[in-house]
Amino acid sequence: MKDLTNSNIERQNILNNRFALERIQSYLGIEGLLFQGEFKFTKQMVADFFEIDISTVDRYLAKFKDELKHNGYILIRGNLLQDFKLQFGHLIDKATKTTVLGLFNFRAFLNLAMLLVESDKARHLRSKILDIVIDTINQKTGSGTKYINRRDADYLLSAIKEPKYRKEFTDALNNCVEMGNYKYALYTDKIYEYIFKEKAKEYREVLKLKGNENVRDTMYAEVLDLIASFETGLAYELNKKRDELGRKLSPFEVDKVFKNFAEHPSQLPHIDKARIKMASRDLHFRDAFHQKLEHYLQAVTPDDFERFLGERSIDFNKELEKAIDVFKRLKESKE
């Protein structure tokens, strides 16, 4: 089981997932004090819930100040504090005696629950949080995340275009490279290694793919687009080099073309983006850890949760059927 107390990324993945947060809040059944359209909790309320001293809350606020503020902990003073006192001063004695007051929203409250090691209630809650997160993702994806990439509305277009760029690349290898059929697998693996540091076999092992499952069917749209960019760009460079030499290229010459293309500064931002997306999404959604991309791990963004679990996500099979119908109508109109 994941240890939320030791991983900022794992904590943030949960706090960025509004679908899981809604279920966690419903499970807990706590609301707090409704202030400016959001439920708030004072330090005393938080301390009482987790059965700890306020001094413990203060210690965590000092140690994890930036993280807790990022997730909704605020200090109110002045007119805002006066408004709060007018609404809730009769419920909270200390609210009438202070010039500054710290308030947690539900995200910050949950954030603290994932940090506290002194509270048994927080420890039990962490276990339940992980169960709810897993169940939420399974419910949203139909109990399977291996092909969660297909829920992205951008995936279908990338997948449709990908074979065209693939053919440009394989044609270039056929016409420009002095080597047998082994070259197709060899140089495809080189592209994968340049982009996400893994050969196809390693990628399959990380995602636990079966022998009949296609590697590219599991890739995110951004990764497919970058592979397509590599393949069409390398096809151009290989054809150009063959024309310059007036002959096919040796493996040594092909390797040089690959290296020069992949290490061009213009590629680096796109490679970094693809590595971050693949490593971070796979770890959270698929529980698949790309060890060679560990340096690129980040929290999954709220936008990605909307993209893969929310209203912006799609039913791939239905969208594919629609696309096929469109292609059929276009074909019939030309006959």
pLDDT of residue 89: 78
**Residues 92 and 175 occupy one common structural domain:** no
**Residues 109 and 242 occupy one common structural domain:** no
Model-level pTM? Answer: 0.87
User: To 10 degrees, what angle do helices 155-176 and 182-196 make?
Assistant: 130
**Residues 231 and 114 occupy one common structural domain:** no
The residue among 96, 111, 141 that closes a domain is 141
- Residue in the block written with tokens 């993280």: 67
Q: Look up the domain containing 294 and give its range.
A: 148-334
**Residues 81 and 17 occupy one common structural domain:** yes
**Residues 282 and 301 occupy one common structural domain:** yes
**Residues 178 and 68 occupy one common structural domain:** no
**Residues 213 and 160 occupy one common structural domain:** yes
The residue among 141, 173, 188 that closes a domain is 141
Total domains, the chain: 2
Q: pLDDT tens per residue, the chain (335 residues)? A: 578 999 999 999 999 999 999 999 999 998 899 999 999 999 999 999 999 999 999 999 999 999 999 999 999 999 999 999 889 877 766 545 678 999 999 999 999 999 999 999 999 999 999 999 999 999 998 868 999 999 999 999 999 999 999 999 999 999 999 999 999 999 999 999 999 999 999 999 999 999 899 999 999 999 999 999 999 999 999 999 999 999 999 999 999 999 999 999 999 999 999 999 999 999 999 999 999 999 999 999 999 999 999 989 988 878 777 766 655 555 455 54
Residue 207, token pair as written in the block: 């995602």
pLDDT of residue 99: 86
Identify the burial level of 166 via C-beta atoms within 10 angstroms of its C-beta, where 0-12 means exposed, 13-18 middle and 19 or more buried: middle
**Residues 118 and 166 occupy one common structural domain:** no
Q: Are strands 33-35 and 38-42 parallel, antiparallel or unpaired?
A: antiparallel
**Residues 207 and 327 occupy one common structural domain:** yes
Cα–Cα dist 155/13, whole Å? 22
The residue among 113, 141, 169 that closes a domain is 141
**Residues 233 and 263 occupy one common structural domain:** yes
Q: Are strands 100-104 and 38-42 parallel, antiparallel or unpaired?
A: antiparallel
pLDDT of residue 331: 45
Strands (E), 175-258: none
DSSP character at residue 249: B
**Residues 67 and 199 occupy one common structural domain:** no
pLDDT of residue 124: 96
**Residues 68 and 216 occupy one common structural domain:** no
